[in-house]
Each structure stands twice: as structure tokens, then as C-alpha cells.
Chains A and B, each alone.
Chain A
């Protein structure tokens, strides 16, 4: 075995900023690109559905409502709807809450800092842009600290979504069980999983205590914290699954409303 001649002249040990990375296991851009496309598609879709789909000129049922089903984008219903103007729909009033809840979520922060802002695009991959970095110490990043506010508000919205899911079991005074009912129930379960697995919730139920034994209800809160911690490990999965289910339920109801197909169901 031999020492070969130097194969490459590389910049001196770079210190901050430089550095050459010649090989990695998988292309580093694959994950950020996937997240960018998926999250980007959801953002565009939610704005489209909130701005332009809550209103119909002939005042027929708006596209978010069909049979016993109500789109999660439009719940709770604020005032009479359609409200008569595309920028004055329930979704325009309500949607900011879950959107900001997600925008300030610790998991989504990781996802979008990497895929949208490339800060960093992937681990040990140099920043692609050179600029001053303040992280979450200044505006606008510091606003991510508002996560608690949105968590409380989103929990209230979640209660309404559970009511919608339960109401989807009745229609015209009869019990009703359709494919849409199941979708709505699965959706609200996933949203509950997402909310309960939140890092702030994990902290509030017990994680914030330094000594469980001395705290009021300490033993119970320790168990609770343990349970919420296990849920918290799956927070990213709940984040993506619930995001997909919200869009799916909305699309499903929209298709029904447009008469693309009939909801498979039984009544009793």
C-alpha cells in the first residue's frame, strides 16, 4: 500500500465560511426541496381556498360546505356566510390562527429555516448566501416566541373542529355515516395529535417543573409529562399527516359540492 501523491490542492483549513465537501451519502438538497414543494403547495392551496372559495355570486352553498360536512378551513363559522366578499370569509378570519400556530411551531421552524431560508439548507453544508444572521433574537424571527399565544388559540379552534366532526354524524335529523365522516374524524384526531404533541404543551403539563416531588400534583404531572413526551417524539409525523388531512378533507368536500361524485354513505 502506498502513499499516493496529493490528489487535490484544497483551501487552507477554512475557518469560518469556506470548506469543501466532496462527498455525502445522499444529495443534501433532496429533503429541503421536498419540504419546500410540499409546504409551498399547502400554503398556496390554503390561501386560494380561503380567499376565493368562500363565496359564490349566486349565494348558493359555498364550496366549503356539503351535506353534513364543513371544511376545516372554514370552521368555526364566523357570522353569516357567505359573507358577501371574497376577503371576508370565515377562513380569512380563522385561518390565521392555525397558520400562525404552525408557522411558529418548533418543528415547522426547523423545516422552513432549512428549506425556505437555507439557514442552513442541511447539516454541515455551507450557507449558500452570506449575510448577517440574527436568528430569533430580532424581528421577525423573535416573533416565533408567540407560539404559546397561537397554541392557546388553536386549541379553541380544535374544539370547534371536534364539534364539526361529531355533527357530521347527523344529517336531516338522521344518523349519517359517510366516507366524509370518517375523513373528518381522522382529520380531527390527527390535529389533536399535532396539538397535544406540541413542545409548549409538553412543557406546560410538567416539563417546566424542576422538582416533580415538591410540586402540587407532582406525581401525576410527571406521568402526564412522560406521556406527552412520547407523543412529542411523533410531532413531525403529526405535523405532516394533519397538514395533509386538512387539505384532503377540504378537497373532498369541494369535489362533493361540485358534484364530481356522490359521498358513499349509510343513514339510519
Chain B
């Protein structure tokens, strides 16, 4: 994800080309405008409807024709760079992946991400996420694990889903632990649970991050209410395939009576479980 590139991007040739077909409808957008420390406003704009247009098209139209000062971060317009995250009708979503014809009739409200500090208008400062990322020990294969590696498909197939993440941080925005309770110092957040899960499940990785994720990562703050999964534009099953598996790995060590008995019988004092490294 690139940061802060082109905050007042002007429209490109593919924006609202009338040849694409004007629908004859006029859309009303209520777009947040404001800067840190001041009372923002919701500004209303009217934009001509075009078949298949997404909310980002409408924002581009506004920037080109109505308000060149409106700040909005975007880059790919293909739901792949994760730059254009915002809140559309109160719901975290990508501006470039939300078609206006899928929204209910009436004005469309566009606001910046609520869980991050405002830079200007629709642009927020998401750099806090990059700090969290640094706390997670990276992929660490064994030193003597000679390459080339041969990894069986069944050992790696699960990780594909985790690797789909485009770092849009919509999940971080919607998570009530960060959004409402402001526990960003205590909880890594869903995006980073996905990252830890992908490292922990990697057959070639040698580090163990489970206890770290429980303590510094604040895994216990997640109450699996699944809003992160609901908003993820890559349809990553964040709770089912990352957070719950991590909680279960922790339970292997601390909250499983049969494993506890097994460890006692084996005389194994450690709390390591079968998948442990």
C-alpha cells in the first residue's frame, strides 16, 4: 500500500466517459470535508449517473468538475492496492469496489475511516498499522534448510487466502476494539492476526509467535464478532481461518484438559502442542 500519493488525484480518461452510457439519473453525494482540529462538514454534490459507475468515479467527477480541493487517496481503481478505503453509507468499503447501483436509493454518504487520524477530507493516516507490523517477527526458515524447497500443495494451500490481503485496513477500521475502545496499543487488530496466522501455519517457518500474539498482540481482546470478515474486500475469512485457529493454538497449550493429561503422562513439562515449532 502506498501512502499519501496524489491526495487530490484528478480524474483520468476512464472517468465518467459519456460513451459508457449516462443513466439519466442524478446522484447526490454527501462527502465529508475537513481537516484535523476543525469541525468538518458534509458537503452535498450532484453527479450524473453512469452505467456501472463506482463511488470512486463519482468522487473523481467531483474533483474534476465541482471541487478540485477534495482530497481522496486512490491508486489502482481495481480493488487491489487498498488505498481508497472509506466509509460509504456508514460502512467501511473500498470506493473503487462499491457500485452506486448496489446502494439504496437516496444520497450516498462518503466519510473517511473513523478509526484512524484524519489527514484531510477522505484521507486518513494509517501509518499506525505499519508500526504494528514491525512488532511481528518475520518469516524465519531454518538456517540449514537447503534450497530449493519442495513444499507439498496441501501444506501451503491454506496460506493462499491469507496472502490475498491488500492491506486496505478496512478490517482494522471496523473492529470495535480499535474503533470504539481505542485499544490500538493493546491489540494488533484483525489484519495482523491474518499475518501471524499465515506465518504460524507456514510449514517452513521456525518461530513461535503464539504467546506473543496472546500477550503483546492482545488476541484475547477479539471477541470474534466477525465484523472484520464482513467488510474484507478480499473475502478473507479473518475470524474463522486466522483468529480462531490462533486462539485454538493457544488453547492447545493452556486450555485443553486432555492435552494437559497427555503432557503429564509423557513427562513433558513444556506447554508445546502438536503443531508447535
Quick check: B30 and A8 within 8 Å, CB to CB?
yes
Contacts known (A6-B41, A200-B251, A213-B203); A119 close to B225, Cβ less than 8 A:
yes
Q: Which of B46, B176, B230, B248 contacts A127 (CB 8 A)?
A: B176
The number of chain A residues with a CB under 8 A from chain B is 64
User: Closest Cβ of chain B: how far from A41's Cβ, in Å?
Assistant: 22
A96 within 8 A of B: no
Proximity string of chain B (74-112) to chain A, C-beta cutoff 8 Å, 1 when within and 0 when not:
000000000000010111100000000001101101011
A195-225 residues with Cβ-Cβ distance < 8 A to B are 199-200, 203, 207-215, 219, 222
B67 within 8 A of A: yes
Cα–Cα, bound, A82→B31 (Å): 67
Tell me which residues across on chain A come within 8 A of B91, comparing CB atoms.
24, 123-124
User: Closest Cβ of chain B: how far from A26's Cβ, in Å?
Assistant: 9
Quick check: B257 and A152 within 8 Å, CB to CB?
yes
Quick check: A13 and B155 within 8 Å, CB to CB?
no
B196 within 8 A of A: no
Tell me which residues across on chain B come within 8 A of A110, comparing CB atoms.
223-226, 239
User: Closest Cβ of chain B: how far from A28's Cβ, in Å?
Assistant: 9
User: Closest Cβ of chain A: how far from B273's Cβ, in Å?
Assistant: 7
State the 4 A-B residue pairs at the shortest beta-carbon distance, nearest first.
Answer: A21-B90, A123-B227, A137-B220, A13-B118
Contacts known (A207-B245, A210-B202); A133 close to B183, Cβ less than 8 A:
yes
Cα–Cα, bound, A8→B258 (Å): 60
A80 within 8 A of B: no
A71 within 8 A of B: no
User: Closest Cβ of chain A: how far from B226's Cβ, in Å?
Assistant: 5
Cα–Cα, bound, A152→B65 (Å): 64
Tell me which residues across on chain B come within 8 A of A19, comparing CB atoms.
111, 114
The number of chain B residues with a CB under 8 A from chain A is 85
Tell me which residues across on chain B come within 8 A of A12, comparing CB atoms.
34, 36-40, 118
Tell me which residues across on chain A come within 8 A of B201, comparing CB atoms.
210
Q: Which of A15, A119, A212, A215 contacts B176 (CB 8 A)?
A: A119
Cα–Cα, bound, A114→B226 (Å): 10
A98 within 8 A of B: no
Cα–Cα, bound, A136→B37 (Å): 35
Quick check: A137 and B273 within 8 Å, CB to CB?
no
Q: Which of A7, A142, A232 contacts B43 (CB 8 A)?
A: A7
Quick check: B244 and A199 within 8 Å, CB to CB?
yes
> Can you show 26 pairs from A to B with CB atoms below 8 A apart?
A3-B67, A6-B42, A8-B30, A10-B32, A10-B41, A16-B182, A22-B89, A23-B90, A23-B107, A25-B104, A113-B224, A120-B176, A124-B227, A125-B90, A134-B221, A137-B218, A141-B220, A145-B251, A148-B255, A149-B257, A152-B258, A210-B201, A211-B203, A212-B152, A213-B154, A213-B155
A178 within 8 A of B: no
Contacts known (A110-B226, A124-B179, A203-B245); A13 close to B256, Cβ less than 8 A:
no
Quick check: B245 and A3 within 8 Å, CB to CB?
no
Quick check: B39 and A208 within 8 Å, CB to CB?
no
Quick check: B46 and A1 within 8 Å, CB to CB?
yes
Which chain A residue has the least Cβ–Cβ distance from B89? A23
Quick check: B32 and A13 within 8 Å, CB to CB?
yes
Residues of B in contact with A (beta carbons under 8 Å apart): 26, 30, 32-34, 36-48, 62, 65-67, 87, 89-92, 103-104, 106-107, 109, 111-112, 114-115, 117-118, 124, 152, 154-155, 174, 176-177, 179-183, 200-203, 205, 218, 220-227, 230-231, 239-240, 244-245, 247-252, 254-258, 273-275, 277
Tell me which residues across on chain B come within 8 A of A126, comparing CB atoms.
180
Quick check: B36 and A133 within 8 Å, CB to CB?
no
Quick check: A208 and B223 within 8 Å, CB to CB?
no
Which chain A residue has the least Cβ–Cβ distance from B107? A23
Quick check: A135 and B114 within 8 Å, CB to CB?
no
A17 within 8 A of B: yes
Tell me which residues across on chain A come within 8 A of B37, comparing CB atoms.
12
Tell me which residues across on chain B come within 8 A of A23, comparing CB atoms.
89-90, 104, 106-107, 109
Quick check: B41 and A135 within 8 Å, CB to CB?
no
Quick check: A211 and B155 within 8 Å, CB to CB?
yes
A240 within 8 A of B: no
Contacts known (A137-B221, A208-B274); A8 close to B42, Cβ less than 8 A:
yes
- Could you say which of B48, B250, B275 has the most chain A C-beta atoms within 10 Å of its C-beta? B275
Quick check: B36 and A8 within 8 Å, CB to CB?
no
Tell me which residues across on chain A come within 8 A of B45, comparing CB atoms.
1, 3-4
